[in-house]
C-alpha cells in the first residue's frame, strides 16, 4: 500500500471540506457559490487522489454514490421509540389540543409552541457518532426500523459529518425524507412512458426510493430531507425544540422550510392559516401543520399515550379536490386480467400536482355514481390514494354525455370477460392477452420471483414488441444472437441476460409458485404452500380439500390455486418449463 504523504492527507481533507460545504450551499441553502463545473472538477481531483492513495474519509462526497445491492435490510432498534402524531381536523380540535395541554400542565397562561409544515414523506432517524453519520434507519413499527444508511447517504442534503457546531458524542436526529413535486411528476411521467405503474403520491415515491435494496436506484431519485426532531442524545443538553432546530440549522442540516415559535393557541392558528395559504407554493407536498410544545421539560411532563406524544399534534388540511371534465374512459388490463376503468381527464392541478387520470375502480362504481364520458367531476387527490372521482356535477350536463357500456370483450385481446362470484371486478380470461402476458413476464422475472436480472420492464417490453417472447416459456428459448439484433443489446449485455436466465433455472418451490402469478398468491402464500407440498407435481390436479385445511391459506387462495392447477393449458406450460431445464428445489 502506498503511504499517504502528510501534504496529500491535508489536500484530501481540504477538498472534502470544501466539497461538502458546496454541497450544503447547493442542496440545503439552495444558493451555490461556485459553478457546477468547478464542483465537478474538484470532485474529480478528490476521486483521483483517493484512488491513488487509497485514503478515503468517512464524510467524503465520493461515498454518496451508492454501494452494491443488498439481499435485505438489517433491522435497527431505535434508542428512543419513534412516535407517530395525533391528528386534528379543525381549528376547534387544535384548540382542544391546547386545552388538554394546559389542563395537564395545570396552567392558565399561554404555552409556547413551534409550528411547521407536515411533510408527506418517510420518517427517518439519522444516528451520528462523534459527528459522523453512523446509521440511517426507517421508522418501522416505531421501535425497530430498517437500516437504509447506504441509500440515505446518496441524499446530498444529508450531512455525512456534523460541522460548524459543538458536536455531541452521539445524537439521533430525525426528519422526513421526501420527494419534491416536480421530481415526483417527472418520475411518474418516466414510469408511465415505460409502461410501469405510477406512484400514487410523493410519499409512496419517497418510500419506494428509500426502500430499495439497490442503492443505484435511490441515487437517481432526487430526494430531500427536512429534520424536525430529536431522539437519544449523549453529551449535550437541549432545552427546547426551538433550540434544537436552531442547532440543526447551524450544524448544516436541512430544517423545515418554515418554522415559527409562537405563544398561545391563537397565534398557532394564525400560523396554520399562513401555512395553508403558502402550501401551494411549497415545492413539496405538505398535508398539514405540526404543532409541538416547545419546552422539553414540559414535553416530558405531558408524556406519551401509547404511540403518540401528548405534546404534539398534526393539523390536517382538507383533502385536495379539483373540478375537471372526463374526456374519455379507457379500460386498463392488469397482470391478473382484472379490467379497471380509468377516466382520462382534462388535466387539472390539484395541490400542486397535475392530475390527468383517475381510477373509476370498477363498473359497479360507474353505475352507482352514474359517471359518463363528458361529465364534469370533482376529483380528490387525498394524501395516500390515487386520484378518484368524488362526485359528478349533474347540473353541468349538456345531454351530450355518453354512457359507457360494460365491455363484453377484453379491450386489449378481445377475449371473453368474466366476473367471479361476489367480486365487482371483471377479468379477461385470455391467457395470452398481451396486456397480461407482458405483466406476467415482468412479474415472473422480478427479484422476489425468478430474479432474472436484466429482464425488467423496459427489456420485457422490447422483447415482447420484437416478438422474441410471447409467453414466459419463451424466456428460456432466447439465444444471444436474437438479442444482438436488438437496439438495446451489445455483446456484454446480451451475454449477461443469457447468463441471468440460465442462473434462474435453479430456484425454490416458493419462488416458483410466486412467479406464476396465480391470483391472490403473493410471496407469503407461496412460502406457506411450499411448506405443505413436496414438489410442484404434487399440485397438479390438486383438489380444494387438499388446500383448504392449510393454516393461513384462505378460501380465495385455495380456489385460485385449484383453478390454476386444474387448467390443462397451465399444466402444459409447467411441463414445458420443466423440459426447458427449470430445477425446483424445496428446501427451506
Active site residues: 118
**Closer by beta carbon to ligand IVH, 32 or else 309:** 309
First to last CA, the chain: 44
Residue in 46, 76, 83, 101 binding ligand IVH, rule: CB under 6 A: 83
Which residue from 61, 256, 383, 517 is in contact with ligand IVH, where contact means CB under 6 A?
256
Judged by CB under 6 A, the residue of 59, 170, 176, 457 near ligand IVH is 176
Binding to ligand IVH in span 25-44, by CB under 6 A: none
Residue 483 near residue 476 (C-beta atoms within 8 A): no
Asked if 176 and 122 count as a contact pair (C-beta separation under 8 A), the reply is yes
Q: Which three cell numbers stand for residue 22?
A: 458546496
Contact status: 84 vs ligand IVH (CB under 6 A): yes
Nearer to ligand IVH, 229 or 352 (CB): 229
Spatial contact of 332 and 339, defined as CB atoms under 8 Å apart: yes
- 128: number of Cβ within 10 Å: 21
Specify the DSSP class assigned to residue 409. Answer: B
CA–CA gap between residue 562 and residue 445 (Å, rounded): 24
- Give yes or no for a contact between 515 and 573, defined as CB atoms under 8 angstroms apart: no
Q: What is the CA radius of gyration of the chain?
A: 28
Among 28, 49, 76, 85, binds ligand IVH (CB under 6 A): 85
Q: How far apart are CA 585 and CA 588, in angstroms?
A: 9
Pairing of strands 286-293, 112-119: antiparallel
Decide if 117 contacts 279 (C-beta within 8 A): yes
* Per rule CB under 6 A, count of chain residues that contact ligand IVH: 16
Minimum CB distance to ligand IVH smaller for 14 or for 305: 305
Strands 506-508 and 583-585: parallel
When binding is defined by CB under 6 A, the residue of 210, 314, 353, 412 that contacts ligand IVH is: 314
Which of 158, 269, 312, 529: binder of ligand IVH (CB under 6 A)? 312
Nearer Cβ to ligand IVH, position 204 or 560? Answer: 204
- Map residues 130-159 to x or -, x wherever contact with ligand IVH holds by CB under 6 A: ---------x--------------------
User: Is the Cβ–Cβ distance between 111 and 264 less than 8 Å?
Assistant: yes
Residue 577 touches ligand IVH, criterion: CB under 6 A: no
- Listed ranges 157-165, 195-203, 306-314, 366-374: which one lies at the site for ligand IVH (CB under 6 A): 306-314
Minimum CB–partner distance for residue 124 and ligand IVH (Å) = 8
The rounded distance, in Å, linking the Cα atoms of 95 and 97 is 5
**Short-list 448, 481, 449, 488, CA closest to 465:** 488
Work out whether 118 is an interface residue with ligand IVH (CB under 6 A): yes
Q: Which residues contact 385 (CB under 8 A, 6 or more apart)?
A: 200, 201
Burial class (CB in 10 A: 0-12, 13-18, 19+), 521: buried
Residues 422-441 that bind ligand IVH (CB under 6 A): none
Q: Is 123 or 210 the residue whose CB approaches ligand IVH more closely?
A: 123
Hey, which residues between 202 and 231 contact ligand IVH (CB under 6 A)?
Answer: 228-229
Residues in 348-407 at the binding interface with ligand IVH, rule: CB under 6 A: none
Region near ligand IVH per CB under 6 A, out of 112-120, 203-211, 242-250, 262-270: 112-120
Asked if residue 516 binds ligand IVH (CB under 6 A), the reply is: no
Q: Applying CB under 6 A, which residues contact ligand IVH?
A: 83-85, 116, 118-119, 123, 139, 176, 228-229, 256, 290, 309, 312, 314
Amino acid at each position: 500500500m502506498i503511504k499517504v504523504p502528510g501534504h496529500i492527507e491535508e489536500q484530501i481533507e481540504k477538498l472534502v471540506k470544501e466539497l461538502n460545504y458546496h454541497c450544503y450551499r447547493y442542496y440545503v441553502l439552495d444558493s451555490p457559490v461556485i459553478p457546477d463545473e468547478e464542483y465537478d472538477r474538484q470532485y474529480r481531483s478528490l476521486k483521483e487522489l483517493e484512488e491513488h492513495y487509497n485514503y478515503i474519509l468517512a464524510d467524503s462526497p465520493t461515498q454518496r454514490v451508492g454501494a452494491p445491492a443488498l439481499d435485505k435490510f438489517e433491522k435497527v432498534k431505535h434508542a428512543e421509540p419513534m412516535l407517530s402524531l395525533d391528528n386534528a381536523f379543525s381549528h376547534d380540535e387544535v384548540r382542544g389540543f391546547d386545552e388538554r395541554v394546559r389542563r395537564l400542565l395545570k396552567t392558565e397562561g399561554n404555552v409556547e409552541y413551534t409550528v411547521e409544515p407536515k411533510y408527506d414523506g418517510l420518517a427517518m432517524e439519522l444516528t451520528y457518532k462523534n459527528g459522523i453519520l453512523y446509521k440511517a434507519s426507517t421508522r418501522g413499527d416505531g421501535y425497530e426500523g430498517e437500516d437504509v444508511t447506504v441509500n440515505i447517504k446518496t441524499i446530498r442534503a444529508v450531512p455525512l459529518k456534523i460541522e460548524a457546531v459543538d458536536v455531541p458524542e452521539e445524537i439521533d436526529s430525525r426528519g422526513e425524507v421526501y420527494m419534491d413535486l416536480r421530481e415526483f411528476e417527472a418520475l411518474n411521467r418516466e414510469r408511465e412512458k415505460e409502461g410501469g405503474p405510477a406512484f400514487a403520491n410523493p410519499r409512496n415515491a419517497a418510500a419506494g426510493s428509500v426502500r430499495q435494496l439497490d442503492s443505484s436506484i435511490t441515487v437517481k431519485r432526487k430526494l430531500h430531507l427536512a429534520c424536525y426532531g430529536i431522539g437519544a442524545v449523549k453529551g449535550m443538553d437541549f432545552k427546547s425544540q426551538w433550540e434544537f432546530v436552531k442547532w440543526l440549522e447551524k450544524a448544516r442540516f436541512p430544517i423545515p422550510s418554515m418554522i415559527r415559535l409562537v405563544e398561545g393557541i391563537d397565534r398557532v392558528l394564525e400560523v396554520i392559516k399562513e401555512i395553508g395559504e403558502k402550501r401551494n407554493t411549497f415545492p413539496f407536498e405538505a398535508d398539514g401543520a405540526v404543532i409541538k410544545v416547545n419546552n422539553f421539560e414540559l414535553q416530558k411532563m405531558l408524556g406519551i399515550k401509547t404511540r403518540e406524544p401528548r405534546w404534539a399534534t398534526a393539523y390536517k388540511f382538507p383533502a385536495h379536490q379539483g373540478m375537471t371534465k372526463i374526456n374519455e374512459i379507457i379500460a386498463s388490463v392488469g397482470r391478473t386480467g382484472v379490467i379497471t376503468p380509468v377516466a382520462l381527464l382534462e388535466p387539472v392541478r390539484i395541490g400542486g400536482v397535475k392530475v390527468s387520470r383517475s381510477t373509476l375502480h370498477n363498473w359497479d362504481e360507474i353505475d352507482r355514481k352514474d359517471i359518463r364520458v363528458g361529465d364534469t367531476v370533482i376529483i380528490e387527490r387525498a394524501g395516500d390514494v390515487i386520484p378518484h372521482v368524488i362526485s359528478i356535477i349533474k347540473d353541468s350536463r349538456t345531454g351530450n354525455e355518453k354512457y359507457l357500456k360494460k365491455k363484453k370483450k377484453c379491450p386489449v385481446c378481445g377475449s371473453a370477460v368474466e366476473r367471479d362470484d361476489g367480486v365487482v371486478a371483471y377479468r379477461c380470461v385470455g391467457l395470452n392477452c398481451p396486456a397480461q402476458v407482458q405483466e406476467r413476464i415482468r412479474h415472473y422475472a422480478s427479484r422476489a420471483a425468478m430474479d432474472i436480472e436484466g429482464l425488467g420492464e423496459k427489456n420485457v417490453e422490447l422483447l415482447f414488441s420484437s416478438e422474441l417472447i410471447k409467453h414466459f416459456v419463451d424466456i428460456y428459448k432466447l439465444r444471444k444472437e436474437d438479442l444482438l439484433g436488438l437496439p438495446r443489446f451489445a455483446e456484454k449485455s446480451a451475454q449477461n441476460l443469457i447468463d441471468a436466465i440460465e442462473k434462474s433455472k435453479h430456484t425454490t418451490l416458493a419462488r416458483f409458485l410466486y412467479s406464476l402469478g396465480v391470483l391472490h398468491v403473493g410471496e407469503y402464500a407461496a412460502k406457506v404452500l411450499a411448506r405443505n407440498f413436496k414438489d410442484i407435481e404434487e399440485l397438479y390436479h390438486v383438489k380444494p380439500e387438499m388446500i383448504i385445511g392449510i393454516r393461513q391459506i384462505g378460501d380465495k387462495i385455495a380456489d385460485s390455486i385449484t383453478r390454476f392447477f386444474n387448467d390443462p393449458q397451465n399444466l402444459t406450460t409447467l411441463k414445458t418449463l420443466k423440459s426447458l431445464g427449470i430445477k425446483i428445489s424445496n428446501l427451506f
